[in-house]
Amino acid sequence: MKREFVAFCGLDCETCEARIATVNNDQALRERVASEWSQLNQVTITHEMINCVGCRIDGVKTPFCDTLCPIRQCALNKEVETCIDCDLFDECEKLAMITDNNKDALLRLKGLKQQINQ
């Protein structure tokens, strides 16, 4: 996995269906993702909203990732590369919303830290 595709929270943007739909200009995938995410989040998400190149990469983002994600907004404000670089990493409740349910995200962040320290 390329380092730039690791989101601030440790999620893997390369496997995100919104990014895949964007990169491949796959309208059917956009429509399926919009429907699934609408049901999952109990909000209306349209296929036009399913455009994203990655959390930490310059370019288009989904509305949530762009302005609503509290983790991304916090990391941008603190000017950290990822959450592992924050002094509050071990006690962050925002980050725990992801890492408590996705151990791979936590391992990805710790792997980045190890790469930096080598």
DSSP state of 58: S
Q: Does residue 85 contact residue 10 with C-beta atoms inside 8 Å?
A: no
Quickly state the pLDDT bin for 117 (edges 50, 70, 90): low
DSSP H or E run through 64? none
pLDDT of residue 3: 83
pLDDT in tens, 67-76: 999 999 999 9
d(CA 97, CA 18): 20
pLDDT at 118 over 60: no
Quickly state the pLDDT bin for 116 (edges 50, 70, 90): low
Quickly state the pLDDT bin for 14 (edges 50, 70, 90): very high
CA 62 vs CA 14, 24, 51, 97, 100: distances in Å: 15, 16, 6, 19, 23
Average pLDDT rounded to a whole number, residues 93-104: 94
pLDDT of residue 93: 96
The residue assigned the tokens 């496997």 is 15
Give residue limits of the domains in the chain: 3-16+52-117
pLDDT in tens, 24-46: 999 999 999 999 999 999 999 99
Token pair belonging to 43: 């909000």
pLDDT in tens, 46-72: 999 999 999 999 999 999 999 999 999
